Amino acid sequence: MESPFDGGTLGRPGEPSNPIIDLAPGAEDNPIAVELAAVIRKNLGENPKKRADFRALRGSVLMVAQDRGESLTLRFDLGRLTIHDGVVGIPSLTLCGDLAALRRLTDLPLTPWLRLPGTGFFSRQGADTFRLLLGLYFQGNIKVYGLAAHPRTFVFLLRVLSSRG
């Protein structure tokens, strides 16, 4: 039997190389929450820079899939993430859009310099994803509330979510 203290899926408490990602009660029944937790675990396992960004995140992010009428809250606390089903507390950031658009955030390319969201200089697919998400944002099909007040949280969230860079 695997123990979370043996470096399993949760990691050792307080150890910076093993982030803690939990699903709150009720969130394990939400397929979007389970999928998002798996993506973040995979990204953090593959890239030490993403782990540093993850440890720097503090605050909550509400993600709303408007087409499905579902929402989930990501509560970051300096190396620990708890994913809740529905709205919990007052979020620092709120991302609203169709589920397909929210899933595309994981395909967002990051620039080599400063690891900011960019056009994906060497990837046609990355450039297409960036243009698509930017177009959805300016058309109002994907909304980001709290961006002006919490730009650092938004950039670090994108870095952690992105499977590229």
Of the candidate ranges 43-47, 86-90, 123-127, 146-150, the one whose mean pLDDT is the lowest: 123-127
pLDDT recorded at residue 65: 95
For residue 33, what pLDDT band results from cuts at 50, 70 and 90? very high
Average pLDDT over residues 41-60: 93
99-114 per-position pLDDT tens digit: 998 998 888 877 666 5
Tokens for 71? 């929402």
Distance CA 38, CA 44 (A): 10
Average pLDDT over residues 78-94: 96
pLDDT at 91 over 50: yes
Domain locations in the chain?
A: 4-161
Q: Does domain 4-161 have CATH number 3.30.1050.10?
A: yes
For a pLDDT cut of 90, what percent of the chain falls above it? Answer: 56
For residue 85, what pLDDT band results from cuts at 50, 70 and 90? very high
Name the average pLDDT for the chain. Answer: 83
